[in-house]
Amino acid sequence: MTYHTKLNHLGMNRISISKKKKQQSPQIEGSGSGMATITVTRENKLSLFPLLSLLCFTSIFILLSQFKNTSSSSSINTFSSIHTFQIDNKNNNFASCDYSHGKWIYDDSRVSRYDNTCKEIFKGWNCIKGNKSNGLELAKWRWKPNGCNDLTQFDPLHFLNDYTHTSIGFVGDSLNRNMFVSLFCTLRSSISDGQVKKWRPAGADRGFTFLTYNLTIAYHRTNLLARYGRWSASENGGALESFGFKEGYRVDVDVPDSTWARAASFHDILIFNTGHWWWAPSKFDPVKSPMLFFKKGEPVIPPLRPDQGLDMVLEHMISYVEERARPGAVKIFRTQSPRHFEGGDWDQGGSCQRDRPISAEQVEELFSVKNNGTNVEVRLVNEHLVKALKGSGFDILNITHLSEFRADAHPASAGGKKHDDCMHWCLPGITDTWNDLFVEHLNSIKHRS
Ligand SMILES: *[C@@H]1O[C@H](CO)[C@@H](O)[C@H](O)[C@H]1NC(C)=O
Ligand SMILES: *[C@@H]1O[C@H](CO)[C@@H](O)[C@H](O)[C@H]1NC(C)=O
Ligand SMILES: *[C@@H]1O[C@H](CO)[C@@H](O)[C@H](O)[C@H]1NC(C)=O
Ligand SMILES: *[C@@H]1O[C@H](CO)[C@@H](O)[C@H](O)[C@H]1NC(C)=O
């Protein structure tokens, strides 16, 4: 099945837009490329904007088809930066606490801080409106870390008061948008109407300022962090041509996507992710449309595999941010969010029809690198992140393991597609807990200084 037929199932809108803008290049139809999208947005910012967000969602979902990986099964370093970070502060709960490890407890008294009426919730993620059978129960599960106090739901009004004159940038793919929406809805719920300005700070896809507090949050959409676009062989030949490449994607490992290039120096707090678009063979087909890596404007020879390209991109993007970040800026990298396709991948009838979290044994069965299952990429991506971030000024926000239990928290068939969405998360839902962890982490840094 080619990428195009998959797309026809799910993304009619996207095809018609691309055709209008890029008639001469039929392959761009299926690309969802950051560059193509930027061009379109510039030309017609206002009217296309909601549609593009939708496309972003659809395309990520589509592109995660046979997301399999063959890299080594070396073990991941078991550290949580929150833990190591606070090791000196004996009075702080963080000193003795690793929030990444624990269990989920059902708590009927727990209530979500926002509901299904929050307008930022993307339709496919609104599981209460989508009538998901456990949509209302999702927020009742509480993460209980091992060996430390409960992770509490942060108080949005306290947060607004504590973080005045602060700007927070989420940079990454639709899973970072999912986390951004959760933070927006939580903060929005605590204030009255008319105190929020919607705008696009520093090239963001979307952003808001809570005016009374001068707190800004923004989402910068980028799939690979690095800039990329279509590439075709030149008639005059060249290094890549001599390897037999005819078509592909040029990925500039040392150039950030323009959607976030200015974000690095704009925000006081930055939270990055990438991972879902790497090894997405329906887009970056190893034969028909491979990733071709460029550095300093020249092709990297010999050509790299995507996992090697990821290492190079991470290295360059991390130093790009470190060189430009504001003095005292908090730089965070979020670990990979797990998918929960069972019984096949998304395009093979895979589903996630569960109404409660899965057990620790089931988690290992689904995600251990050794088992090489449908969703194996999550821990593999983390290995690359850990390697690249070692020695950097970034903190790691490790949400992977706690999310691995939550096969019940994806939109599944309530996502309104022909296929189950076992990748994004329902809202309200688990990314609320990611933000609790995020805020806990920010507070621990604030109190340390
Ligand atoms: C993992 O499984 C995929 C197919 O599902 C296969 O192509 C790949 O070679 C396997 N990787 C390893 C390391 O066994
Ligand atoms: C995240 O936390 C889990 C559970 O403690 C751990 O096994 C894993 O190695 C951690 N991953 C990273 C990237 O820190
Ligand atoms: C959810 O259920 C309500 C009440 O039965 C119905 O009106 C609505 O159309 C349903 N929504 C979806 C997305 O199925
Ligand atoms: C609002 O906050 C930003 C930091 O996000 C700061 O640069 C700016 O000066 C603040 N504006 C006012 C009016 O205090």
Please give the pLDDT value at position 97.
78
Alpha helices per DSSP H over 368-429: 377-389, 400-404
Of residues 250 and 96, more confidence is placed in 250
Q: Give the position, in ligand 1's atom list, of the atom nearest the Cα of 374.
A: 5
Confidence tier at 347 by pLDDT (50, 70, 90)? confident
Which ligand has the shortest distance to the CA of 213? 4
Contact yes or no for 389/355 (Cβ under 8 A)? no
Q: Where are the beta strands (DSSP E) in 240-351?
A: 247-256, 269-272, 291-295, 298-299, 330-334
Torsion of CA 123, 125, 127, 132, to 10 degrees: 110
Q: Is the pLDDT of residue 48 over 90?
A: no
Of residues 4 and 428, more confidence is placed in 428
Mind listing the pLDDT tens digit for each residue in 112-140? Answer: 999 999 999 999 999 999 999 999 999 99
Question: 424 CA to middle of ligand 1, Å?
Answer: 24
Q: Is the pLDDT of residue 44 over 70?
A: no
Work out the average pLDDT over 225-249: 96
**Ligand 1 lined by 371 (C-beta under 6 Å):** no
Please give the pLDDT value at position 82.
38
Q: Where are the domains of the chain?
A: 88-222+268-276+306-448
From residue 217, alpha-carbon distances to 200, 377, 431 in Å are 10, 29, 16
Question: What region does 344 belong to: left with phi over 0, alpha with psi -120 to 50, or beta?
Answer: left
Please give the pLDDT value at position 346.
85
Question: Residue 114 carries which DSSP code?
Answer: S
Beta carbons within 10 angstroms of residue 402's beta carbon: 24
Mind listing the pLDDT tens digit for each residue in 269-280? Answer: 999 999 999 977
Confidence tier at 303 by pLDDT (50, 70, 90)? very high
Q: Which residue bears the tokens 């992770």?
A: 151
**Ligand 1 lined by 66 (C-beta under 6 Å):** no
Please give the pLDDT value at position 96.
57
**Ligand 2 lined by 166 (C-beta under 6 Å):** no
**Ligand 1 lined by 372 (C-beta under 6 Å):** yes
CATH class, domain 88-222+268-276+306-448, is alpha beta
Cβ < 6 Å from ligand 3: which residues? Answer: 130-131
Which ligand has the shortest distance to the CA of 100? 2
Q: Give the position, in ligand 3's atom list, of the atom nearest the Cα of 130.
A: 13
Mind listing the pLDDT tens digit for each residue in 304-346? Answer: 999 999 999 999 999 999 999 999 999 999 999 999 999 998 8
Question: 317 CA to middle of ligand 1, Å?
Answer: 29
Q: Is the pLDDT of residue 7 over 80?
A: no
Q: What is the pTM of this model?
A: 0.82
Please give the pLDDT value at position 79.
32
Mind listing the pLDDT tens digit for each residue in 352-402? Answer: 999 999 999 999 999 999 999 999 999 999 999 999 999 999 999 999 999
